[in-house]
Amino acid sequence: MLILQDLIYVPEYAALYTRDGVCVDETAAIHLRPAPSIGASKLRRVKQSVCKHFPPKIDPPSAEAVFERPIVQIGHVAPHYGHFVVDGLARMWALSNFERQEHFYFTDNRKLSSFLSLPYVAEAFAALDFDPKKIARFEVNTLLKTVIIALPGINYSYNAYDALKHAPLRIAERLRKHGAPCDGQPIYISRTTPGSGRRKLNGEEQVEEAFRSAGYKIFHPERHTLSEQIEIFSVTRRIVGSIGSAFHSMLFEPDSFVGERFIFSPTLVNGRFLIVDGLKQDSHRTVYIRAIQDGLDASGRSTSDIDADLALSHARSLGLL
């Protein structure tokens, strides 16, 4: 943790700045790009090219208000399930150190209201005994006199630390059913009925039907609460599906749990999945099966297509069907 004095909150940026307009890197939101790794020498360039919402230098900001009391930077507003589990909880390992703290700061808090309305966020915060009313909301440039910064459990070089698991495991400890037996029925995670913000995976219906016929339980994560998703990942030995945010729920699995996850994926795997794999490598194995092609349609929107024949061929060769 760091304790810094006289940092300025500027509403349009997802970081805090010095009086001279220099970005304080340790306060910046974590937005990981899909590349699996980057060298330390490229850190600044990545921040500039990918995260324009916290440039390294801005014109010296003037403060229109002052917040005199100590405030703890503990989280990040990430209104997307996978980003919330990995990025949004990355600093909350430190929460137990501030049980009497009254004021907390979340980066990018312009989206705070919609973020707090998400059911899985409310469940997670309740499990952590965290009162979202303690999150400070600033509308104008504000001088923060004393900022206590909980450093995140991940960084732009795709290094991940055991601290990243602390909040997810604490949430799971409160929400899952203790003593529940491991479920022998394998699960297929479906994307055939995507919710808001989730891309439909073209061609998945054939793949899903093949797994249903083979005795897999079909699971639609968007239809379930956070606790129900945690329970599925905590007791199911084999889970198969196409790459998507639901697989970040592996972070909630107890470290003692041994399972296997088979994920149909494109050639380039988003780095968040590799971070989760690295933290869970001692307890289970993850196999990526290349069978998805990402692209753009005529209007420039992102698309995802799964080669059903290729996916099922690989699944049979791995003994999944």
SS3 category, 295:
strand
Distance CA(230)–CA(285), nearest Å, equals 18
Please tell me whether residue 235 adopts helix, strand or coil conformation. helix
Q: Which pLDDT tens digit goes with each residue over 279-316?
A: 887 777 899 999 999 887 777 777 889 999 999 999 99
Rounded to an integer, what distance in angstroms lies between the CA atom of residue 85 and that of residue 309?
Answer: 32
> What's the whole-number mean pLDDT along residues 29-45?
56
Is the pLDDT score of 195 beyond 80?
no
Question: Taking the domains of the chain in order of start, what are their residue ranges?
Answer: 2-175, 187-317
Q: Which amino acid is at 45?
A: R
Domain spanning 187-317: which CATH class is it, in words? alpha beta
Residue pair 132/115 in contact (Cβ under 8 Å)? The answer is no
Backbone φ and ψ for 231, nearest 5 degrees, come out as: -60, -45
Lowest-pLDDT range of 63-67, 153-157, 254-258: 153-157
Range in 15-29, 51-65, 216-230 with the lowest mean pLDDT: 51-65
Confidence of residue 277 (pLDDT cuts 50, 70, 90): confident
Q: Tell me, what amino acid is at 297? A: D
Longest dimension (CA), the chain: 64
- pLDDT surpasses 80 at 56: yes
